[in-house]
Amino acid sequence: MSLEVIHYPHPTLRHKSKPLARVDAQLKMWVEEMFDLMYEHEGIGLAANQVDLPYRLFVMNVEGDPDRPELERVFINPVISQGKGQSAMDEGCLSLPGVRAPVTRNAQIRVQAYDLQGNEIDEQLTGMEARVVLHETDHLDGVLFTDKLQQAELAEVRDLLEEFEIAFQSQQESGEAPTDTVVAAKIAELEAARV
């Protein structure tokens, strides 16, 4: 199965992802594909459910530069705590291409997770790293950055969101996109394969 970035309002984007119990060759292959897709779409982070996988996993490279592999990070089963301060910045999302709006997030966080080698991650992050980790962890909980917008900002992007909704409904009706039932069955199957 080859991965691709799915767009709002695909149901997997609203699914609360399940923790991963193990890392195997298949998962490592998916991670590689996720980095490729992230760079192809000029992103700096990509969560598993953005590629239709219901797992608590995301990849990031805060510079979005494939020539800087030393900046590549993989976070498995991330847990965020100790949020401090507030910072507002324009955000976008590969699952909502063309939509940008200001989002207020914690300026500093603690993240605990595992990397692809099974090593424990326990770090204090600030700035862009903190923002990307918060944005991607939200994805794993079925939360999009547009859910965090103030009413005025949401009103400004509402028309774009409606265009995505209409396009997806049309794709479902024509059979180009899977029905909600098919998506739910696929999620259940993928989760069962990794218990």
At 4-20, the pLDDT tens digits run: 999 999 999 999 999 99
DSSP conformation class of 2: -
Long-range CB pairs of 123-132 (<8 Å, 24+ gap) are 124/82, 128/44, 128/62, 129/60, 129/62, 130/105, 130/106, 131/87, 131/89, 131/91, 131/105, 132/44, 132/45, 132/60, 132/62
Residue 21: CB partners within 8 Å, gap ≥ 6? Answer: 194, 195
Q: Is residue 34 one of the residues assigned to a domain?
A: yes
Q: Is residue 2 one of the residues assigned to a domain?
A: no
Which residue range(s) make up the domain with 94?
11-192
Q: Among 85, 70, 74, which Cα is nearest to 126's?
A: 85
**41 marked among binding-site residues:** no
Per-residue pLDDT band at 60 (split at 50, 70, 90): very high
The pLDDT value given to residue 2: 87
Q: Has residue 141 got a pLDDT over 90?
A: yes
Token pair listed for 192: 């069962």
The pLDDT value given to residue 95: 98
Q: Is residue 104 one of the residues assigned to a domain?
A: yes
Here the CATH number for the domain that contains residue 160 is 3.90.45.10
Q: For residues 71 and 103, what is the distance between their CA atoms, to the nearest angstrom?
A: 24
**139 marked among binding-site residues:** yes
The pLDDT value given to residue 194: 83
Per-residue pLDDT band at 195 (split at 50, 70, 90): low
Q: Has residue 57 got a pLDDT over 80?
A: yes
Q: What is the mean pLDDT of residues 31-46?
A: 97
Q: Is residue 138 one of the residues assigned to a domain?
A: yes
At 107-137, the pLDDT tens digits run: 999 999 999 999 999 999 999 999 999 999 9
Computed on alpha carbons and rounded to an integer, the radius of gyration of the chain in Å comes to 16
Is residue 15 exposed (0-12), middle (13-18) or buried (19+ Cβ within 10 Å)?
buried
Average pLDDT, the chain: 95
Q: What is the mean pLDDT of residues 93-119?
A: 96
Q: Is residue 3 one of the residues assigned to a domain?
A: no
Residues with a catalytic annotation lie at 136
The pLDDT value given to residue 145: 97
Count of domains forming the chain:
1
3-state SS assignment for residue 4: coil
Total Cβ atoms within 10 A of residue 163:
12
Q: What is the mean pLDDT of residues 50-69?
A: 96
At 74-90, the pLDDT tens digits run: 999 999 999 999 999 99
Structural contact between residues 133 and 109, judged by C-beta atoms closer than 8 angstroms = yes
Structural contact between residues 80 and 134, judged by C-beta atoms closer than 8 angstroms = yes
